[in-house]
Copies of this chain bind each other. A is one copy, B any other.
Amino acid sequence: MKATAKNAKTVVGAIDPDVLAFTVGQDPVLDLRLAEWDCYGTAAHVTMLSRMKVTPKLFSQEERDAVLRELAKIRDAARAGKFKITEEDQDCHLAIERTLTERLGDLGKRVHTGRSRNDQSATAIRLFVRDQLFGTIEELLDLAKALVAFAKRHRKLPMVGRTHLQPAMPSSVGTWADAWAEELLGTGPFLAAACDRADLCPLGSAASYGVPLPIDRILTSKLLGFHGAVGNVLAAGNSRGKVEAETCAALAQVMVTLSRLAQDLILFSMPEFGYFSLPKEFCTGSSIMPQKYNPDVCELVRSKAAQVCGLSATANAILVGMPGGYNRDLQDTKKIVMEALDTTRASLRILARLVGGLKAHPDRLRAAFADPGVFATDRALELVAGGMPFRDAYHQVRDHLEDLRGMDPDEAVAKKTHFGAPGALSPVLAAHDALIRVLRADNRAVRARIARALRRLLPETR
Contacts and interface: CB of A to CB of B under 8 A. Distances in A.
A186 B196 CA distance: 9
Interface in A165-221: 165-171, 175-176, 178-180, 182-183, 186-187, 189-190, 192-193, 196-197, 204-218
Interface stretch (A32-40, A78-86, A156-164): A156-164
Contact of A256 (B109, B118, B242): B242
A224 to B, nearest CB: 15
B302 A209 contact: no
A207 B113 contact: no
Nearest to A184: B235
A125 interface: no
B180 A238 contact: yes
A96 to B, nearest CB: 16
A232 B178 contact: yes
A132 interface: no
B287 A182 contact: no
B22 A297 contact: yes
A325 B163 contact: yes
Interface stretch (A65-73, A414-422, A441-449, A454-462): A414-422
A327 B331 CA distance: 27
A253 interface: yes
Interface string A279-296: 011101111111111111
B296 A328 contact: yes
A286 to B, nearest CB: 6
30 contacts: A12-B286, A18-B349, A113-B381, A114-B384, A161-B209, A164-B299, A165-B325, A166-B270, A168-B289, A176-B234, A178-B235, A186-B239, A204-B419, A213-B382, A213-B385, A232-B420, A232-B425, A238-B260, A249-B250, A249-B253, A256-B316, A263-B323, A264-B323, A288-B397, A289-B374, A289-B401, A302-B321, A306-B318, A313-B313, A317-B320
* Shortest beta-carbon contacts, A-B, top 5: A310-B314, A210-B421, A12-B285, A303-B329, A179-B234
